[in-house]
Structure 1
Amino acid sequence: MSRVSIPFSAGDVSALARSLRDQLVQCGHTPSHLELLNMLARSTGHRNFQSLRAQAAAENQLRQAPPVEPPVDYVLVKRLAAYFDARGRLERWPAKEGLRELCLWVFWSRLPAKRDLSEAQLSGQLRSDHLFGDHALLRRELCDRGLVSRTADGRQYRRVERQPPAGAVALIRHLTARQEAAGGKAQ
């Protein structure tokens, strides 16, 4: 049987020493190997050594496991693509909340990274990317959902660098490819 290394650390060595002393005094005899392991584990806030070992094993497994990317719902991407014209402009604001958020990622992807924009610049970009005439709604939604940050006075806006969800990435790629195929400018 191979031995697995179990990390052991204590935030406060003085508290560890006091806890061990108190447990040894209560024990009244020379503790066994297992009793000592349990005392050490309890000194760092675990129920017993088994709990400490299970925590270490779970943490090790999670570190080694690749992050699970949720599958892309291509039916949803296709349905969302119908909200955009051939040039990639949003024709109407979706009624469903989940659809709105994915559409906002398209606007987010078209904003310049790591650059401040004035309200007029952001509004101009949003006006050119939709057809239903409410750039203020889009600006507000981008800010409310944390995709764009703004200064307290509302004069400067900046795209917040985040990883879009898989569905949004698929939608952005699809719209870009469709735009290029139609001869429009790709964002």
Structure 2
Amino acid sequence: MTRPVLSLTIDDLSPFARRLHQALAQAGSAPSHLALMNMLARAGGWQNFQHFRSGALAQIEPAGSMMVVDQPRVTQALRHFDGQGLLLRWPAKTNLQHLAVWGLWSQLPKGAVMTEQEISSRLNRLHLFGDAAILRRTMVELGLVKRTADGREYRREERAPAPTERALIRHLHVRSAS
């Protein structure tokens, strides 16, 4: 049986190298193959190699065809975020806007009922251009957030992100953890 290829994509090499350097310094001596794979995975933002591997394998459909991550689109969207994962500006292209709001959606609390003021406050902490209304409207249009007819209550809708959205969310979580 052939081994699946697991690609490791690094969003920002500097924090990755810093984390890997710290892990190698703590090891003291040359780590084993498995220990090195765990260090690489942790430096990339995963818990360990198994966590990385399961995420990479989740992109493979049962039939064996690969669910492809649109890495150039992820890279373009990441340019609109700062080093801490805050959205700097609203992308001009609609497909990047839609991808960017997935990153914000992932940081909204699951199951919480929020007023318009509460969701706006949460979104204001996640972006720097001061327009929570456009973010709320886009999330509602995409079905990421549901609101009551009178607009008084908002709730994050639980949906499974596609591989490209998952890749962006993972990169943003690594950035915000740095």
- TM-score normalised to the size of structure 2? 0.62
Unmatched 5+ stretches in structure 1: 1-64, 182-187
For 2:68, the equivalent position in structure 1 comes to: 71
| Cα drift, residue 66 of structure 1 | 3.7
Residue 82, structure 1, aligned to residue 79, structure 2: yes
- Alignment RMSD: 1.8
Question: What amino acid is the match of 2:157?
Answer: V
User: Any conservation in 2 of the 1:70–1:166 contact (CA below 8 Å)?
Assistant: yes
1:176 and 1:134 mapped to 2: Cα distance?
A: 22
4+ runs deviating over 2 angstroms? 65-70
Residue 110, structure 1, aligned to residue 107, structure 2: yes
User: Any conservation in 1 of the 2:83–2:176 contact (CA below 8 Å)?
Assistant: yes
1:84 and 1:161 mapped to 2: Cα distance?
A: 23
Indicate the percent of aligned positions where both proteins have the same amino acid.
45
Structure number with greater Rg is 1
User: Any conservation in 1 of the 2:76–2:96 contact (CA below 8 Å)?
Assistant: no
Residue by residue over 1:105-133, the C-alpha shift from the partner in whole angstroms, topping out at 9 and shown as x without a partner, is: 01111111112111111000111111111
1:115 and 1:168 mapped to 2: Cα distance?
A: 22
| Cα drift, residue 68 of structure 1 | 4.9
Residue by residue over 1:11-33, the C-alpha shift from the partner in whole angstroms, topping out at 9 and shown as x without a partner, is: xxxxxxxxxxxxxxxxxxxxxxx
* Number of residue pairs aligned between Structure 1 and Structure 2: 118
> Aligned match of 1:156 in 128, 153, 157?
153
Q: Write the mapping of 1:90-109 to structure 2, written as runs, cut at 5 A.
A: 90-109=87-106
For 1:58, the equivalent position in structure 2 comes to: none
Unmatched 5+ stretches in structure 2: 1-61
- TM-score normalised to the size of structure 1? 0.59
> Aligned match of 2:174 in 152, 177, 181?
177
Secondary structure of the 2:114 match is: strand
Secondary structure of the 2:83 match is: coil
